[in-house]
């Protein structure tokens, strides 16, 4: 299976006249004239909306010219490209966006114009072994990880931050486990299979399922599930970001992009089987139809009902992320406020 988030920097998805969907019609909220717009994306399930936009030709009716999707090598690089103006819009990590906002200069800072995934999509995957059952509590499941080797994409990355948060929520210390930076999914799978890792922090629901299936293990903890401490479950992890000066100078472009995203969300909701097929082909190398179907059900049944109209951003989501960052010693609370990072039109 392909690694979620992998792909060359300039890998492209077809977005030209051959794309399926409506052509030659102007959608409500369309820009007055064709406007170039560069979208940053990834191959993972949290980014399926971008692929749907392209496959269903949903940019053109809004007069957004998106010839291809740009695939940064990491979230950090993606935020750097937003700040540099190389990407106009992308779904990024909430904590990463807030850190980048705090460290960047006014005008080039990333601002949050929407919240695509208002849930915590991270999870804890374990390999074969005697693990607590599905009905066990969060604390019991975390306690089973004591003395174990847990893989994260990189030390200091989003998966590592989530691991620290999970340890804190369970009353555990970093020294209770061994943390290993393993890079992308294929490396994690290989290390679990070779008994060099006991567990891995997945960063999307689909990526977690893919790892669990391939190693013969299980998703020990879904951090968005009922029973998970609110410190974790209330964390919203996938906002839509744009560069500050571009939003201020042309809000209409931001609104057109948000409208395209909403069209994709509607299409996924109305076409679960086709969406699962697209996800399986694009992310799972056409080898995990069951996992793809489960992922679409997760998105439609658990994530989309929590999305605010037109992706609007709640104060509670940003303030909770700020509180988490303060508790982890990443950024003092009050450094980045809701009003700072969310433009007025994007607020609930």
Mean pLDDT within 268-285 = 94
pLDDT tens track for 143-171: 999 999 999 988 888 889 899 999 999 99
> From edge to edge, which strands make up the β-sheet containing 149-152?
178-181, 149-152, 199-202, 123-126, 218-222
Mean pLDDT within 314-325 = 97
pLDDT of residue 75: 82
DSSP H stretches of helix in 146-250: 158-169, 185-193, 205-215, 230-233, 244-249
Residue among 208, 228, 205, 232 at smallest CA distance from 141: 228
pLDDT of residue 284: 85
Among 1-15, 173-187, 199-213, whose mean pLDDT is lowest?
Answer: 1-15
pLDDT of residue 141: 98
Report the predicted TM-score, pTM, of the whole model to 2 decimal places.
Answer: 0.88
pLDDT of residue 316: 97
For the chain, the average pLDDT equals 91
Residue among 86, 85, 347, 166 at smallest CA distance from 239: 347
pLDDT tens track for 36-63: 999 999 878 999 999 999 999 999 999 9
pLDDT tens track for 9-20: 333 344 433 333
pLDDT tens track for 69-99: 999 987 888 999 999 999 999 999 999 999 9
pLDDT of residue 25: 62
């Amino acid at each position: 299976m392909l690694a979620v988030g992998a792909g060359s920097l300039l890998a492209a998805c077809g977005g030209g006249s051959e794309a399926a969907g409506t052509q030659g019609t102007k959608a409500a909220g369309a820009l007055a004239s064709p406007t170039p717009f560069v979208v940053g994306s990834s191959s993972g399930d949290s980014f399926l909306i971008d692929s749907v936009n392209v496959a269903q030709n949903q940019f053109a009716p809004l007069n957004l010219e998106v010839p291809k999707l740009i695939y940064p090598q990491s979230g950090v690089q993606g935020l750097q490209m937003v700040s540099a103006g190389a990407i106009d819009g992308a779904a990024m990590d909430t904590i990463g966006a807030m850190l980048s906002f705090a460290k960047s200069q006014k005008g080039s800072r990333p601002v949050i114009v929407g919240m695509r995934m208002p849930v915590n999509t991270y999870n804890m995957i374990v390999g074969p072994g005697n693990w607590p059952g599905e009905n066990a509590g969060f604390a019991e499941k975390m306690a089973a990880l004591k003395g174990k080797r847990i893989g994260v994409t990189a030390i200091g990355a989003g998966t590592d931050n989530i691991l620290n948060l999970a340890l804190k929520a369970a009353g555990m210390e970093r020294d209770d486990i061994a943390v290993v930076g393993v890079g992308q999914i294929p490396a994690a799978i290989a290390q679990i299979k070779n008994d060099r890792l006991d567990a891995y922090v997945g960063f999307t629901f689909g990526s977690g399922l893919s790892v669990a299936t391939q190693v013969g293990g299980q998703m020990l903890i879904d951090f968005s599930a009922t029973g998970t401490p609110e410190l974790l479950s209330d964390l919203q992890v996938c906002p839509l970001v744009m560069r500050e000066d571009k939003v201020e100078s042309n809000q209409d472009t931001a609104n057109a992009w948000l409208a395209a995203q909403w069209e994709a969300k509607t299409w996924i909701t109305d076409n679960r089987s086709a969406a699962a097929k697209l996800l399986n082909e694009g992310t799972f190398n056409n080898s995990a139809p069951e996992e793809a179907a489960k992922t679409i059900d997760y998105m439609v049944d658990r994530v989309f009902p929590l999305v605010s109209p037109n992706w609007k951003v709640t104060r509670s989501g940003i303030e909770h992320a700020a509180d988490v960052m303060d508790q982890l010693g990443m950024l003092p609370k009050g450094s980045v406020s809701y009003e700072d990072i969310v433009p007025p039109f994007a607020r609930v």
